[in-house]
Structure 1
């Protein structure tokens, strides 16, 4: 069994004249990431590794999540190929993962994550929102052979706000 947990970065700010990679999170992005991470913590999932796009907004989101999950940052890595908007680079990355790992969490971007959630999962998702989490399980023991899986968990910030 292989499980991938896709987390789209939190809402980012356009208030600064910085490159796309350097855009920071808005306060809402920070708050939404906190509430989704706290909800996901109740799922009590054992993760083997976490990866993030190098973009500031994805990296900041990953730190919020991983701290809330009390995750060992020794099992965390930033990978340039996750700065991807189509999904093809993320797909190639996941298919190349070490088969010793069963469950990975990836922090990245749309359209890539909506595309992959719909390609891999068994539930149609119109759009993975900022700070949205989608967990998909695959009936295989090799990352290179993942195809259609089962969408096990969907957590979107809107669901958690009163």
Structure 2
């Protein structure tokens, strides 16, 4: 069975300040709306993952929660993975390789520059930058997540708000 990985960059976030830790930055109203719009487009395409894995940053988790609500997936079933926050390609790849093979379609929610770098590393195509609230679907002709490697993914589509 092939594997599908949906890479979702968090929605537009409020600007940081000296009084607010980066990890606690929330989505703006536009970030909320854009996240829902992209989730609805994916639903219309019939592309709904079996498992949602999110960074522990407030803006990424809130994006994942909007997607989950749109797809009628319980919010408490979102797997929170702190290693996604500020992760490099090598860390993200190690997380993906460790995914349970029982899941053929997984969505991850997180941040740039790591997510853009990940798409460029795994994909047969190069992109400049993932916009906020965007979702990029990579497909892999493999039966195990452990087989995930450089250039093996096919960029199936990318959706931006």
After TM superposition, the score normalised by the length of structure 2 is: 0.91
Moved more, 127-136 or 15-24: 15-24
Q: SS in structure 1 opposite 2:45?
A: coil
Q: 5+ unaligned residues in a row in structure 2: which ranges? A: none
Aligned residues: 157
Residue 153 of structure 2 corresponds to: 149
Distance in 2 of aligned mates of 1:85 and 1:93: 10
Aligned pairs for 1:111-122 within 5 A: 111-122=113-124
* 3-state SS, counterpart of residue 7 of structure 2: strand
Task: Please give the root-mean-square deviation of Cα atoms over the aligned residues, in Å.
Answer: 1.4
C-alpha separation in 1, matches of 2:119 and 2:85? 17
SS of aligned partner of 2:86: coil
CA offsets, 1:68-127, max 9 Å, x none? 111244542101111134222211100111111111000000011101111112222100
Inter-partner Cα distance in structure 1 for 2:25 and 2:33: 17
Provide the rounded CA distance (Å) in 1 between the counterparts of 2:22 and 2:76. Answer: 27
Match of 2:103 in 1: 101
Indicate the residue corresponding to 1:160 in structure 2: none
Q: Assess if the C-alpha contact under 8 Å between 1:2 and 1:140 holds in 2.
A: yes
Aligned partner of 1:33 in structure 2 is 35
Structure 1 position 4 matched with structure 2 position 8: no
Q: Determine the C-alpha separation between the residues in 2 that align with 1:15 and 1:90.
A: 24
TM-score (norm 1): 0.91
Is the CA contact 2:134–2:159 (under 8 Å) kept in the aligned structure 1? Answer: yes
Gaps of 5+ in 1: 158-162
CA distance in structure 1 between the partners assigned to 2:38 and 2:30 by the alignment: 12
**For the Cα contact (< 8 Å) 1:87–1:111, is it kept in 2?**
no
